[in-house]
Amino acid sequence: MVFTAKRAVLLCFGFGYTLRAVLARLPSSLDCVVACRSYESLAGLHHRVRWQPFAEVPDTVLARASHILISVPPVPVDKGSCERVWALYGERLRREAKALRWLGYVSSTSVYGDYDGAWVDEDSALRGTDAVARRRQQAERHWLDVIRDKAIQGHIFRLPGIYGRGRCVFDGLVQGRSRHIIKEGHVFSRIHVEDAAQGIHLAMMKDTGHTVYNVCDDEPAASWQVLRYGCSLLGVEPPPVEMWREGLLSEGRARFYQANRRVSNRLIKKALGFKPRYPTYRDGLSALYHSVYRDVANNRSNGQEKKDPTSGGRRL
């Protein structure tokens, strides 16, 4: 077993949406240190984690860490690196992390690039050529080198678009910012945040011979299919259709429509016994609707101006 809570010290670099879900699956007695930008981002968890300013993790913490989980997205930084954790701590980890037994890096399926709608798995060539994909590829290489050099267990988790409470099609619909874009033949893979956390947790708990895992659901689908299903649950008409064309979206948003691929989760199912609780977007959205968004929709239909419980206090 890779992970034993009684002896483990988990050091997390970054603490966003997915990592919060991962921590919820781990024993409350776990010795956990989180290095992130703000103490406030740990709201509700201060009783079970210790905070370190992102750029100020001392060598004593690095030396005690048995497990390191990195979820900081790569951005251009100094020292010729695209990965902030690597730039700040790469060499120090090699030198000081004497107790390290496992390292995980949360990457993205963007590394695969465009496959014209074909299926990709962990052995597929990394064809991503845009700046974001190249930075992810470089970051993966950095952490794979550490895993190999230190002869420890470790995993790269390639995640597609993540959705869940507060980050799904319903939010755009109730806030009036969804767009009904159709690009013929184009599909996305996705993963419910709870299933993403399940995949990462399984890898922490099991010693396997594999290093890279795609963590995604069973059914890639077009964005317009997801939008229309969300509308059907809310009982609203979809926004007007917009056929895809160059210049329709900003450069950042258009990037998601440039690559067309279907991401396979067969390896993580076979190696780790991964069973997504929400194997399709329909399963995930139905559960979210009945647990959260039905009340939001009812409040709107009744003309009540109430705060959206999924959005930190925004008014509907």
CATH number of the domain encompassing residue 69: 3.40.50.720
- Asked whether residue 224 is domain-assigned, the answer is no
pLDDT tens digits for range 129-184? 998 899 999 999 999 999 999 999 999 999 999 999 999 999 999 999 999 999 99
Predicted local confidence at residue 302, as pLDDT: 64
Closest CA to 283 of 163, 108, 161: 163
- Asked whether residue 273 is domain-assigned, the answer is no
- Asked whether residue 227 is domain-assigned, the answer is no
- Asked whether residue 27 is domain-assigned, the answer is yes
- Considering its fold, how many domains does the chain have in total? 1
Residue 110: pLDDT over 50: yes
DSSP code for 46: T
Predicted local confidence at residue 278, as pLDDT: 98
Residue 199 belongs to domain spanning: 9-162+191-214
Task: For residue 4, name the pLDDT band (cuts at 50, 70, 90).
Answer: low
Which position has the token pair 């730039």?
Answer: 87
User: What is the Cα–Cα distance from 290 to 296, expressed in whole angstroms?
Assistant: 10
In this structure, are residues 217 and 274 in contact, taking their beta carbons and an 8 Å threshold? no
Which residues lie across from 67 on neighbouring strands?
A: 10, 102
- Asked whether residue 239 is domain-assigned, the answer is no
Task: For residue 307, name the pLDDT band (cuts at 50, 70, 90).
Answer: very low
Average pLDDT on 41-69 reads: 92
Residue 305: pLDDT over 70: no
User: What is the Cα–Cα distance from 21 to 16, expressed in whole angstroms?
Assistant: 9
Give the predicted TM-score (pTM) of the model: 0.91
- Asked whether residue 232 is domain-assigned, the answer is no
Whether the CA torsion 84, 86, 91, 94 is positive or negative: it is positive
- Asked whether residue 175 is domain-assigned, the answer is no
In this structure, are residues 278 and 284 in contact, taking their beta carbons and an 8 Å threshold? yes
- Asked whether residue 174 is domain-assigned, the answer is no
Catalogue the E-assigned strands of the chain: 9-13, 31-36, 50-53, 67-70, 102-108, 119-120, 153-159, 161-163, 180-182, 190-192, 212-214, 241-243, 262-263
